[in-house]
Amino acid sequence: MLKCIMLSSMAKVFAGEEPVNSPIQKLSIFKNERTSFQTALYLNDKKELTVDLQVNSVLAANIKVYTVESIPSAMPAYKDHDDYYLSTEPGLFPDLLRPLEGPLLLKSGQWQSVWFELDPAGKIEAGEYPVEIVFASKDKVLCSASLVVEIINVALPPQTLLHTNWFHTDCLATYYKIEVFSEEHWRIVEKYVKNAVYHGINFILTPLFTPPLDTQPGGERPTVQLVDVIKQGDQYSFNFDKLKRWVDMCDRCGVEFFEMSHLFSQWGAMHAPKVEAVVDGKPVQLFGWKTWAASKKYTAFLIAFAAALNGFIDENGIKERCFFHVSDEPSLLQYNAYKKRSLLVEELFPGFPVIDALSDFKFYSKGAVKIPIPANNHIEPFIGKVPELWTYYCCGQHKNYVSNRFFAMPSQRNRVLGMQLYKFDVKGFLQWGYNFWYSQYSIREINPFEESDAGKAFPSGDAYVVYPGDDGTPLNSLRLKVFYDALQDMRALQLLESFVGKEKTLALLEEGLSEPITFSSYPRSEDWHLAKREQINAAIEKQL
């Protein structure tokens, strides 16, 4: 006997547990909106069974099918977690979406999920469309599940949120065992960039020099330097051919903004990043951990480099698309050093936005940074007091109910961020791990299919949202799909606002709640979230 249940994209189906999520029968989307849903399957009368899957719908050609695979987690959560987790014990967690090719193999006594992604791509007429998922063996139907998809006759507005999920070019070279910036590396990088853009990442970390991120002090990450440096005597010259190729590649993929890599070391701007150069015809490392940030040699280098880079940016017409970094996550103890470096970057790159992840309001109030990016559990002091509100999360945002994307968290905790970003008019969102496949501090490479916590350093799900597929093709996680749903929620609210205004949109969003939505307070309920989104869609449809 085969049992199947139609579930939303916010369900996480564990092999050993019957889903408690409410089955879904209908969902609505807009003409250019993607949506996902699942069927949970349970076989209980045979050891295993191979079944054929069929999608019966006029939408079938627009539906991609994936199996949901579980990934091991040795560290799903820190000890001081809150209670909005699905499980905090080590184990297997549903996460990887692998394209289904051919029949589906089911094991007896285990729940399994099949994921469906519908993309109307703006080409399907408005209306209601039944979708039936049929599972059969030897031409005998064993079970089926169905729902109705309504396509509403209006498109979501373009994404306004600047969204970066740090892109680690070195991890691609390491995993696929290829030379950095070889033709094969460029081919694979482009695939991953295109996939990132498809999921709402419109702002790409650009390694001018090897990004000084998550690197053990004194250690190194593989060199991924887009700018070639030549030093003759005390004079520097620069070749931007690789950077030009990067910009052109990003343009092909639809990238909107370039996030220039940090010009000083992480956690306080105390050192220079690794910079390699050709000196008197020989390759050498010019700067790195042994270089103090305030050194005269590095300052002279930055002055020469900035003049050349500004010229490249102007020549290629991308000035309005570039943002700069000083140092990631400095503490208040490092304020003075950070401020000096920040003022230098502002002087060298006048008119460019300078952004950094830092959560102490004093960095902003005392003038060290004009566009701070506080973590979502430290954002309250910044709301209404900065000209542009940005936020980020990483491993530290694991309690007090703030949104995050760990394996062990309910998907609603991932998706609710879109509503929060809308309410507070957030301009940009940053997360550090699109594809970080190293252990903490980049000491060794990991296999992301087997080790999901960066060497028991971060809760599983913090370090990456894509897996390395064959032939350099990224495999996505359900967490990446759910986060894209969050971005679409934000755009749907913006669409409603265009009809009725912000005040009425917020009133609808918070209708019936005992307290307003904040970054740590919201209905912790998949059913509420789905119903609220349908209510938003209905309100828009009424305006049409």
Provide the residue range defining the domain that includes 260: 162-222+239-271+290-494
Quick one: 267 and 407 in the same domain? yes
Distance CA 146, CA 55 (A): 10
**What is the C-alpha separation between 198 and 64, in angstroms, rounded?**
14
pLDDT of residue 1: 87
User: Dmax over Cα atoms in the chain, in whole Å?
Assistant: 79
Q: Measured between alpha carbons, how far is 241 from 247 in angstroms, rounded to an integer?
A: 10
- Contact at 8 Å (CB) between 448 and 409? no
Q: Quick one: pLDDT at residue 47? A: 86
Mean pLDDT of all residues in the chain?
Answer: 97
Strands of the sheet with 162-165, listed across from one edge: 162-165, 426-431, 389-392
Same domain, 127 and 189: no
**Domain-located, residue 279:** no
Question: Residue 46 has what pLDDT?
Answer: 77
Alpha helix stretches (DSSP H) within 60-210: 169-176, 183-198
| Residue 73: strand pairing partners | 91
Q: How many structural domains compose the chain?
A: 2
Q: Are 149 and 261 in the same domain? A: no
If asked whether residues 88 and 17 sit together in one domain, one would say: yes
Q: Which of 494, 514, 535 is the last residue of a domain?
A: 494
pLDDT reported for residue 438: 98
137 & 212 share domain: no
Same domain flag for 168 and 147: no
Query: Is 145:6 a contact under the CB 8 Å cutoff?
Result: yes
Same domain, 418 and 295: yes
Q: Provide CB contacts within 8 A for 338, sequence distance 6+.
A: 268, 269, 326, 327, 330, 358, 363, 368
3-state SS assignment for residue 443: coil
Residues 67, 132, single domain; the answer is: yes
φ, ψ of residue 414 in degrees (nearest 5): -70, -50
Summarised one tens digit per residue, pLDDT across range 273-309 is: 999 999 988 999 999 999 999 999 999 999 999 999 9
By the 8 A CB rule, do 7 and 43 touch? no
* Per-residue pLDDT, 139: 86
- Asked if residue 541 is part of any domain, the answer here is no
**Which contiguous run of DSSP H or E holds residue 146?**
strand 140-152
Asked if residue 519 is part of any domain, the answer here is no
The pLDDT value given to residue 221: 97
Instruction: Tell me whether residue 374 is in a domain.
Output: yes
Contact 364, 382 (CB under 8 A): yes
Please indicate, yes or no, whether residues 21 and 84 belong to a single structural domain of this protein: yes
CA distances from 479 to 96, 112, 370, 412, 510 (A): 9, 17, 32, 10, 25
Q: Are residues 114 and 243 in the same domain?
A: no
- For residue 66, the model assigns a pLDDT of 98
Say what the pTM is: 0.97
Q: Are residues 303 and 416 both part of a single domain?
A: yes
CATH code, domain carrying 266: 3.20.20
* Cα distance between residue 292 and residue 270, in whole Å: 6
85 and 190 share one domain: no
Q: Flag residues of the chain having pLDDT under 70.
A: none
